[in-house]
Structure 1
Amino acid sequence: MAYSSKYSKRPDELASKSSHSNIINDKDVKAFINDCEYPKSKDDITLDPALIVNIEYPDKNPIEHIIAIDGSYSTVPVKKTFPSSLITFFQFGELLLNIKDLDEISNMAFISREAMSKIKDLERSKLVLPTKNVAYKKNLTLTHSIRRTIYEFFKKRDDGTNFLETVHWLIFELYNSPTDEYNLSSCPHCHERNVTVRRTDFNSDYISNSCKICNNDIFITDIFRLHEAIDNELGAGGILGYLTNLIEQMNIIHTIKSIRNLKPDLLNHFLFIKDGPLAFFGQTANMHEPVRKLCNFLFDNNNLFLAGLEKSGAFVEHADEIKDLLKPGEAFLLNNKHIYSYILPNDPDTPDPYARTSYYSAKLIFKSIDGRMYVITIPVENENIVLNPQKSDFKNLDVILWNIEKLKCDMYDNAIVPVALANKLISLSVHPSSIILEKFAKALIK
């Protein structure tokens, strides 16, 4: 790590321009690189014909509305004399699109600004999070500052609704036969392991005192376990991606709950699209279990059209490699053997299902009629589906893929309109957004 100069009286230490030669000429380094295995190119890939399915396009589209969810964040220093003090600005967008309006626009030779404003109805929510060397409301530690901040964000969103109630509804399965207990992996105060929190322990503010050791306040948002990944000295940079992904999916669940409470039959006409896979990562991975239970309940008792669309990563790169091996209108269901043979390093014959501790969905690669390649995740009944996936395991697959194909967008490679619009409207770019946010934050510091 290089030295830096705070007062500009001395030059910053610069990295050596020749040190790389020691690495390039090292025999052990060369041997190590040669011993590594890398993802296969298309000439070495074989697709199992049993996993290729034809998409049957329905005569009538049941989907009337599409809701796309996306989130973005930017971390900035907040005090000139303490550049290590960081806060993070988050912005989340929930975009509602009307299929009828989209169909009309697709037939236009030229899309006017008025037509575009007609199809996009965006609901934004904002979150500011202390990230390093910052305390909030006189909380003694960064960990408790972040706990309080997340709790308050969930308590009252910009639209006046309450996420805490939705978390309680999800965790204790109030949509079905309510459960009485949930296991909290650790107390955020005394670190007691496996604390049993009871549904009736929570007061009207969704705070309980379930820990029998310290009896301190436990927020219902502590079940996300983010406090376990925060270092009071090194900061909370490691939770930012987990938190973004979590809030995106809680937005979806909150909307599903609201629609179901209003009129359950409306779920037959809404398609929910998330930017990224339907999964929870890091400390929040435990959330995949209650969300899978909710999805299974909705499939059995109401309906659910939900998909995650991946824009980058190993699976998207693999989809590009196999594009000539699929015909337009075909989907390839990804199983354990294919994933670990051609995409990710692991034993292809392992009995452990891919991503069994984080995904409540399974992956497929879809080639649209016009040749675009999409990597999509759709909720499935259990983690073992990935061992031997069948088309019937992917509920509402034909309708979902048909609508994704209708939503094609030329803004980016293999993009679709809702996700591209949501991303464009809420993303916080490095320049100039983060610079403006940094100046804004510093101006408020007393």
Structure 2
Amino acid sequence: MPYQQGKGNRLPPERASKLGHLEVIQSELVQKLCKSFNDPEFVEHAGSVSKWEALPKDGAELKIIFSTDGSIQIIENPNPPFKAIAFVKSALLRVDQYAISKIDKDTPNPFALRDLMKESALYHSTAFPLRNVYIEGKTNYDAIREVLFESVKDKGLNDSLEGAMMETLKWIAYEKWLDVPKTELEKFGCPHCEKNVATLPFNEEKGKCPECNGEIFITDMFGLHQSMTDDYAPNQVASDYMGVSETLMIFTPIRFYWEKKREVLRNCLFVKDGPLSLRATLAKLSAPIRRFFEFAKSKGIDVAMIGQEKTGQFFDHLQLIGNAAPVGSCFIPDNKYIQEQIKHNNTTAIYGADTNYGAKLFVKMNDYHKMVINVPTGQRGEFVTSPSQEHLINFKNIVATLPKILSNKFEGALLPIELANKIASLSTYPSAKTLELFADKHKGNH
């Protein structure tokens, strides 16, 4: 490992010697091994490990589409004391099939896209002082906890959705769709005494720890404070918040219609960028979400939702098995297949049992539109280890709607996600430079 460049930039870094490569490539063992390496085309196991089946053809098209996406940009100063600020943006888009039908799927008019997004989009933005940037009188630990709380309470979405994400968080956490909701939150780690005794009574947003009497927020239930110290927070804190905000965004119209006019939900498709899952301590919301989908189904309301994975192990696996799959088919892997063929784990654990609120499946609409999607399942609110099409809530109507929202701009693209991404995106350039200038302007001497 070479010496690195000093932080003061006085001396250059040590360069790795190029002469060191010669001994490697001249080694007889290395040459012998390289000659034995092959690069065969992928061939599935005999008998076809993946079981593709025809997509249903008797569904009804869903007319109202909601989509959500999020973006994050970490601005880090490369010089001491290495200040870091995270900017997070998430967006919610509502469009109908009539509006989508007017968009050219091959060469969409940018002005038509602008008008569509201007009339139909909401977005939420926030910023976190991760390292060596502080709020007067507060440690980073306390400041970030308060930023998390105030961000979920954001009133900037628009006048009709003031505090919408907070109301949605309470709706999920307290399971307020039930005739008898939860009387208190599931216990979580107190950010002050660290004991797993913190909770809040029904519908409360903040209160006191029963053990140490320290102030706790409902957002502390996510446990993000567990990875922070008084003056340091990892980038993952901001990434996790983005996941929370995307989830709360997509469930806000679900909550609204459930409370005001739930019949509308029968004609809606909710599309989330990324998997239907919440990692680590955020997964406290996954089980209530699964229970909601099952409860809604028991009341005759099949809420249609999908999450699309555009990267990761499942996406990579689709590139291996998708070309040989028949057009108009899907493959729903069970836990055994996921662990052995995708995750390559030798374990008896159930993949996603605590974190996922949807089953993963591979779908091939045509030769140019293969995708990994997640669909909620209905089985008494429990995680389904071997899902089938019958477990996938409103799957027939989802399949009938997919051809109408495909985009030809990218392979496997869905237009609602593409549009939501345009609103939420904080690209590396020029957004990063703009945010960096903004951060420098506003951080003063702190």
Measured against aligned partners, the alpha-carbon deviations of 1:103-147 in whole angstroms (never above 9, x if no partner) come to: 2445x997544543454322111010111222235222x222211
Structure 2 counterpart of 1:156: 154
Letter in 1 for 2:238: L
The match for 1:373 among 349, 370, 373 is 370
The alpha carbon displacement at 1:351 in A equals 4.8
Tell me the secondary structure at the aligned position of residue 291 of structure 1: helix
Cα distance in 1 between the residues matched to 2:439 and 2:267: 42
Partner of 2:56: 56
Correspondence for 1:95 among 93, 96, 114? 93
Q: Distance in 1 between matches of 2:43 and 2:52?
A: 16
2:201 corresponds in structure 1 to 199
Q: What SS does the corresponding residue of 1:44 show, helix, strand or coil?
A: coil
Matched AA of 2:97 = I
Counterpart pick for 1:188 among 182, 186, 191: 191
Question: Aligned pair in 2 of structure 1 residues 441, 311: CA closer, same or farther (>3 Å)?
Answer: same
Q: Distance in 2 between matches of 1:220 and 1:419?
A: 29
State the 1:174 CA deviation.
1.3
What secondary structure, in the 3-state scheme, does the structure 1 residue paired with 2:188 have?
strand
The match for 1:318 is 317
Cα 1:2–1:219 shift into 2, 3 Å:
farther
Which shifted more, 175-184 or 63-72?
Answer: 175-184
Q: Does 1:277 align with 2:275?
A: yes
Pairs within 5 Å for 1:22-421: 41-44=42-45, 47=48, 51-58=51-58, 60-61=60-61, 63-77=62-76, 82-105=80-103, 111-120=108-117, 121-140=120-139, 142-159=140-157, 160-176=162-178, 177-192=180-195, 194-200=196-202, 203=204, 206-209=205-208, 211-232=209-230, 235-301=233-299, 302-347=301-346, 351-381=348-378, 386-421=384-419
* Deviation string, structure 1 residues 4-49 (Cα, Å, up to 9, x no partner): 344444334445546677888999999xx9xxxx9x9334375457
SS, match of residue 275 in structure 2: coil
Normalization by structure 1: what TM-score?
0.86
Counterpart Cα distance in 2 of 1:438 and 1:125:
19
- Offset of 1:59 from its aligned partner? 6.3
State the shift of 1:356 in Å: 0.7
Which digits, 9 at most, give the CA deviation of each residue in 1:148-170, with x for residues without a partner? 10101112231233422322221
Q: How far apart, in 1, do the equivalents of 2:221 and 2:22 lie?
A: 49
Distance 1:208 1:419 in 2: 38
TM-score of the pair, normalised by structure 2: 0.86
Distance in 2 of aligned mates of 1:145 and 1:368: 47
* Structure 1: tracts of 5 or more residues without a match: none
Comparing 365-374 with 11-20, which one deviates more in the overlay? 11-20
Higher alpha-carbon deviation: 273-282 or 166-175: 166-175
**CA 1:167–1:22: 2 relative to 1, 3 Å:** farther
Distance 1:14 1:56, change over 3 A: same
Describe the shift of the 1:115–1:429 C-alpha distance in structure 2 as closer, same or farther (beyond 3 A).
Answer: closer
Number of matched pairs: 430
Instruction: Kindly provide the CA deviation profile for residues 174-218 of structure 1, in whole angstroms up to 9, marking residues without a partner as x.
Output: 1112111333331001111x2152424x65xx1111x22210111
Rounded to whole Å, the distance in 1 between the matches of 2:88 and 2:109 is 31
Gaps of 5+ in 2: none
SS in structure 1 at match of 2:199: strand
Answer yes or no: is the 8 Å Cα contact 2:192–2:214 preserved in 1: yes
